[in-house]
Amino acid sequence: MELGKYISLREVVHSNTATRRGIDNTPSKEQEKVIELLISDFFTPLRETICLPIKVNSFYRSEELNKAIGGSKRSDHMIKGDVAAIDIDDTYSKKSGITNRDIFLYIYTHMDYNKLIWEKDETDINGKKSCRWIHISYSTDREKNKERTTLYYDGVNYQHFKIELI
């Protein structure tokens, strides 16, 4: 089932851990509505701006799956309420020179979101400081997305993002 022009329900719920352990990772209809909004209002516009495929590392997680992978007890990936989360990376786009750093900075400067996290440092293909992946939380309440909490995670600590960190 396609949830948007560029992503299917299969991608949203995919988890090697869930498959390996036989964990049901099916969202409820209410959770699907939140997922659909994140896709239509955030993921699709980002994808169309980049004009390249975006690798989805993690999207929806059932409580059982989140526990199995050691996720936060308050993870937005579980969609408890009006916020959903997606983790993306540059696996596909970096072949065309678009890195996680580029994607993160585009989101940071041009898009609304509830939470944006620079996840762990690495060096990108251009030799610049980048992140391993990008976490985005998005709310069905558009006012919450205007609050734009932006964090930098170095693998140990979270701190408020400042451009000087990169």
pLDDT at res. 1: 58
The answer to whether the beta carbons of residues 78 and 28 sit under 8 Å apart is no
According to CATH, what is the number of the domain 9-165?
A: 3.30.1380.10
pLDDT digit string, tens, across residues 104-155: 999 999 999 999 999 999 998 889 999 999 999 999 999 999 999 999 998 8
20-58 burial: b if 16+ Cβ within 10 Å, else e: eeebebebeeebbebbbbbbebbbbebbeebeeebebeb
Terminal-residue alpha carbon distance, the chain: 39
With a cut of 80, say whether residue 88 has pLDDT above it: yes
pLDDT at res. 29: 95
pLDDT at res. 2: 66
Looking at the chain, which runs of residues are DSSP E strands? 55-58, 83-89, 115-123, 129-139, 149-153, 158-160
Q: Once rounded to an integer, what is the mean pLDDT over residues 77-104?
A: 96
pLDDT digit string, tens, across residues 21-51: 999 999 999 999 999 999 999 999 999 999 9
Domain edges within the chain: 9-165
Supply the mean pLDDT for the chain. Answer: 94
Q: Once rounded to an integer, what is the mean pLDDT over residues 52-65?
A: 96
Question: How far, in Å, CA of 63 to CA of 44, rounded?
Answer: 26
Q: Once rounded to an integer, what is the mean pLDDT over residues 73-96?
A: 96
pLDDT at res. 3: 74
The answer to whether the beta carbons of residues 12 and 4 sit under 8 Å apart is no
Collapsing DSSP to helix, strand or coil, 4 comes out as: coil
pTM: 0.93
